[in-house]
């Protein structure tokens, strides 16, 4: 411990550092809130110790990279957000059959409350479904400790292990004891084991039996995991994950009289640990974030053991099943279960007669794809078309808002092309469909759908909004910087492929109009709208950013610039004339191009600045 220090760390950074202390050799992931900082930390800090880390093209590929390393005998982790695990389900289910040789931990970061997600799902169910044990931490220090334990547990059993975090573990900061990383544990070489690693039916049938026998030993071993029991009262609170911190606060600060058992492994349950604690209790209250995964298993367990004690939790609606837990909601449920007064309801609140102004989400100032949506809107309106805009996952999801209203459906990564094809065929070819997809999402899951569109001759105009990075999650790199989307589209047989700069508004509108005529003739058209992310461009080119201002004498207050482009840097004054905030403007030039009165003027060397921006 002499080489250890205490640092204030983000939960995700603590997980990454814990994996390095455990000697991981390989890490792979796909960015997605709230998981992204794990791979970012390893990219920044792991290379000097010899750790290989990568952003993969999607979660399935990331899973296979880390899984393959573990099959060879290396220690590895894979990271993703909760919905990303759906993309990786195919290799995940098979990995439980083959097992692994090196320690292998799947880190899934759930997003209760859907702060940045299209749904909320509890991935502890996946562990039950796949016969993969689930470890669940409650704070950054615990997360660091558990990832080390999980890697050792995985290697001991030759089996993958999942660690489920939630937003309040991944994105909080806390004191963490960090020590020097271990030397990465790479494999000396892959040993061929086709009977185990090749899942043809004859092998898979044998391995299912082996999987069940391995699961029995895992069920026994989780009894020795560092579950926490705090003896206090005949009332027993059983928790898992972040719920433990709320239960502790309720007992320590708000007068709740109860014992607490925190279960580190909600899948599988430590049966002896739980039955031992429950036999000392008169009443059991289960608190967990997400679905009643722990509660349902607990009721089945106690029924099997013929233990009859009242069990209350989310299934009795004591705690909210939508969104995150809070100390208020936990105290509300606990006091109802215990028949006591909730002290939090007696705390006087301060009432302020003030409503903050509404702040709907908007594109960043100078975002090139706000211009793309503007140009698409103008082009379709001028041609009299009424297309269905099939959207996708990315910051361009903001195109759903006014004034664009160009995301009619939007469900999951890569869905824009697939759902669009369904709408085209489902309406017997009567609908003009325009899928809109980002560059990172195109490489993630859009590419197979493009192949399908060409193969099944489905006419569509596909807009690929290329801003050179995975912008929504913080600007992570993706294949767009090295692999030509144009060449891919041409190679799979797309009839019409064009690349345009959304900052060239007239050319963009003309190209979109031309492409729609191709689609009406039965072809598939791809337009790549390419211009780097405004945030990345200004970060990389500080000192070169030019700006624009409004000539008040020339402005006629027509409102085109602030109503149709919706750039947050442009606002109307009381006289309806436009004003550009110099602290927000990044000199994209689009407002100057759309102004019919030449009232928006450059300040600085715009040509040089836009040239540097175009180099991204």
Give the annotated binding-site residues.
Answer: 555, 558, 561, 567, 585, 588, 591, 595
CA distance 15 to 90: 25
- Of the candidates 438, 564, 549, 452, the residue with the CA atom closest to the CA atom of residue 505: 564
267 DSSP 8-state letter: B
- Of the candidates 42, 190, 29, 193, the residue with the CA atom closest to the CA atom of residue 102: 190
The secondary structure of the chain in percent helix, strand, coil, rounded to multiples of 5, reads 40, 15, 40
Structure tokens at 444: 């993630």
Q: Would you list which residues are annotated within the binding site for [4Fe-4S] cluster?
A: 555, 558, 561, 567, 585, 588, 591, 595
Angle at which helices 271-278 and 293-304 pack, to 10 degrees? 80
Q: Are 377 and 513 in contact (CB under 8 A)?
A: no
For residue 163, the cross-strand partners are 107, 135
Q: Are 154 and 161 in contact (CB under 8 A)?
A: yes
- 526 by DSSP, 3-state: which? strand
Residue holding tokens 């060397």?
A: 605
- Of the candidates 382, 449, 446, the residue with the CA atom closest to the CA atom of residue 422: 449
Backbone angles phi, psi at 260, to 5 degrees: -130, 130
Residue holding tokens 């290697």?
A: 155
- 390 by DSSP, 3-state: which? strand
Q: Are 571 and 579 in contact (CB under 8 A)?
A: yes
293 to each of 9, 128, 551, how far by Cα in Å?
A: 29, 9, 62
Backbone angles phi, psi at 287, to 5 degrees: -120, 125
- Residues near 123 by Cβ (< 8 Å), separated by ≥ 6? 82, 85, 108, 110, 134, 162, 164
Number of neighbouring beta carbons within 10 Å of residue 575: 8
- 404 by DSSP, 3-state: which? coil
Q: Are 34 and 143 in contact (CB under 8 A)?
A: no
- Residues near 227 by Cβ (< 8 Å), separated by ≥ 6? 261, 262, 263, 264, 265, 270, 273
CA distance 32 to 405: 25
Structure tokens at 442: 């195109």
Q: Are 480 and 536 in contact (CB under 8 A)?
A: no
446 DSSP 8-state letter: I
């Amino acid at each position: 411990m002499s080489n250890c220090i205490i640092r204030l760390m983000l939960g995700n950074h603590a997980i990454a550092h814990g994996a390095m202390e455990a000697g991981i050799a390989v890490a792979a992931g796909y960015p997605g809130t709230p998981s992204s900082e794990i791979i970012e930390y390893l990219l920044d800090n792991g290379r000097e110790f010899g750790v290989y880390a990568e952003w993969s093209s999607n979660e399935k590929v990331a899973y296979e990279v880390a899984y393959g390393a573990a099959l060879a005998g290396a220690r590895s982790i894979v990271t993703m957000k909760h919905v990303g695990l759906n993309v990786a389900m195919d290799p995940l289910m098979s990995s439980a059959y083959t097992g692994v040789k090196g320690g292998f931990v799947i880190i899934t970061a759930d997003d209760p409350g859907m702060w940045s997600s299209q749904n909320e799902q509890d991935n502890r169910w996946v562990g039950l479904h796949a016969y993969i044990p689930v470890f669940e931490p409650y704070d950054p220090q615990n997360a660091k400790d558990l990832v080390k334990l999980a890697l050792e547990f995985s290697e001991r059993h030759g089996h993958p292990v999942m660690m489920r975090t939630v937003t309040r573990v991944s994105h909080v900061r806390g004191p963490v004891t960090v020590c020097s990383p271990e030397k990465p544990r790479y494999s000396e070489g892959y040993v061929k084991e086709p009977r185990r690693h090749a899942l043809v039916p004859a092998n898979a049938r044998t391995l299912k039996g082996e999987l069940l026998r391995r699961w029995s030993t895992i069920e026994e071993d989780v009894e020795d995991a560092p579950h926490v029991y705090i003896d206090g009262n005949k009332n027993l609170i059983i928790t898992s994950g972040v719920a433990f911190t709320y239960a502790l606060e309720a007992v320590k600060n708000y007068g709740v009289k109860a014992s607490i058992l925190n279960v580190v492994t909600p899948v599988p349950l430590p049966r002896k640990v739980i039955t031992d604690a429950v036999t000392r209790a008169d009443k059991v209250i289960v608190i967990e974030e997400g679905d009643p995964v722990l509660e349902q298993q607990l009721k089945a367990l106690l029924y099997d053991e013929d233990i009859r004690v009242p069990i209350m939790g989310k299934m009795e609606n004591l705690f909210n099943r939508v969104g995150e837990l809070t100390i208020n909601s936990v105290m509300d449920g606990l006091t109802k279960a215990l028949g006591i007064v909730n002290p939090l309801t007696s705390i006087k609140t301060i009432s302020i007669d003030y409503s903050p102004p509404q702040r709907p989400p908007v594109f960043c100032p100078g975002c090139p794809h706000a211009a793309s949506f503007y140009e698409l809107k103008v082009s379709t309106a001028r041609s009299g078309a009424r297309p269905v805009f099939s959207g996708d996952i990315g910051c361009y999801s903001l195109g759903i808002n006014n004034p664009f209203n160009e995301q009619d459906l939007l469900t999951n990564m890569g869905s824009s092309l697939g759902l669009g094809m369904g709408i085209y065929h489902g309406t017997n070819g009567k609908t003009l469909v325009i899928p809109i997809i980002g560059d990172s999402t195109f490489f993630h899951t859009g590419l197979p759908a493009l192949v399908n569109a060409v193969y099944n001759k489905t006419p569509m105009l596909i807009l690929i909004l290329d801003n050179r990075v995975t912008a929504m999650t913080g600007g992570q790199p993706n294949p767009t910087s090295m692999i030509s989307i144009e060449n891919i589209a041409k190679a799979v047989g797309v009839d019409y492929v064009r690349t345009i700069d959304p900052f060239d508004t007239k050319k963009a509108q003309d190209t979109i109009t031309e492409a729609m005529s191709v689609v009406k003739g039965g072809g598939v058209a791809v337009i790549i709208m390419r211009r780097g992310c405004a945030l990345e461009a200004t970060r990389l080119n500080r000192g070169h950013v030019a700006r624009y201002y409004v000539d008040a004498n020339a402005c006629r207050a027509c409102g085109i610039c602030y109503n149709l482009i919706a750039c947050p840097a442009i606002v109307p004054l009381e006289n309806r004339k436009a004003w550009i905030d110099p602290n927000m403007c990044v000199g994209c030039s689009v407002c100057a191009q759309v102004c019919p009165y030449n009232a928006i003027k450059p300040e600085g060397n715009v040509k040089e600045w836009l040239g540097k921006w175009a180099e991204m």
